Structure 1
């Protein structure tokens, strides 16, 4: 009997201890209130942009080509030098041309004299023919000799003009104002006809030739402002849409777009440019960030704060995405408070600590 009483006592003590443990365990599973960041919904203005990229090019880009063959005797510029249209950049050896030019002048003088004599003889023959002192055959022969002499004189004149032009082309002349962007030759080189001598780029203004998609073309207009960024410059530049094509670029799905940018001296041809062009404005709209949205199947929800610390799941109608903000077409009203992030595991009716970012 004594053993039975002891066993019962041990069982009661053990049972009481387990009950306390179970009570403590249940207490440890009680969910703590989480802190959420929230904001009061306010109407805002959103600007929509077309975003494209491209490379800067000089507004003018000309390569001076040799029209003469010979040795490059003189080069007056160095890489990066500023040049003005009409400047003499160098000289190709033209001594052979000078001798040919002297011969051409002499040939022209001789041909013109021969033509003058032949023309005089023909006029005399015409008079003799009228007096019936020579035959028709003799008159025709005199006429032909005059025509041949005239053709030879005209040919000699053309040869002289061509040689004069070639002689002048021995001088390397800048066609535009700008900077020497590339000089692939040096003094002493033998130059062939058609060889590139100097590339001149006018970069006072720059052009960006790029492309826009089909959906963006309707928003483009000539003269629209373009905001331009580069990786190497901390500031932004402003340009204008110079024009755009209405047919796709060959082999691509984009339409050609040209943007002109005024250069302050810190931009160079070949730099990569990121461009945004204002395409639309949305005024006084309700919008939220992506982290505030919960998607389930084809529906979207936000979590609204009610009674200061209770979250309530609200279905909304989602509109257009503009620069990372999503316009809410319906389901939210101004001054309602919504949770900004961390909503994936949130439940409807959950109690939370609210950290309100915009109290006004």
Structure 2
């Protein structure tokens, strides 16, 4: 959950949500947190609004294409992409609240604190798990295509069932947000029991790191490594576009998520065995947390381009919608690249790698 700040309050480093108070008690002394608070007030609002607006445009286009073309849901990846766009949109919905919070404090009450924090975490987990599902679907469609005997109808049924499981699992993983999130001293923060030696906080962080990063990354690396090996062994078709897509997907995921999860690991270690005892180090860590967190949020802007608009069919559908609303002239030609590329064409392999 993004940090919530503005009001001066007693500082306990184990609760990151308090780090940007004007002054804070730090191991018996006072630690000046005014610079951290000011940095957050200037840094987060414009960036969050940019992420929110850009992400909303991309993901609304994805949802709009599926809504306009009723027969667009043809593959398992189609179903995952639609749910991914919805999850990203709901996630982006929470950013304006955190942008307002960074300048004015939390003025929306405890009820909205729980709702916004819970929605944020549900869609964070569902987005990561759906990216995992897309990787697995691509693996089966490309590496084990000859062994996949299910009909299209069965595949769509299974994909919808998987999405239901993903959303239910995301809700279960987000229960701590609904339970522990509270508005306190003009802050929306996680208030953990004071008698469990940070065990609850460590458990919550461990769940986020493992299910929100380590598990998806492990599955993605396995699936895409085997896919790359399969493509390199194939003959008589273009591989470069597919390899570039895979490289872009993995690179963006690692660059956007790894630094933030590294920060979370440090938080978990510090909660278990206090390692940050210096005020300057604490301030630097707080700034790094804010920067890495916003970097991780950018992934929701890039998902439509990494998973949807790279494909010929999706771009052609987008062109049709733009023409329908008069954004393009009817005789405007759209060059989508080679149409007979076995990776970027409308085949089963294409449906798995780029729609």
What TM-score comes out, normalization by structure 1 length?
0.20
Query: Which structure has the larger Rg?
Result: 1
Q: Which has the higher contact order (CA 8 A, sep 6+)?
A: 1
Structure having the higher strand fraction is 1
Structure having the higher helix fraction is 2
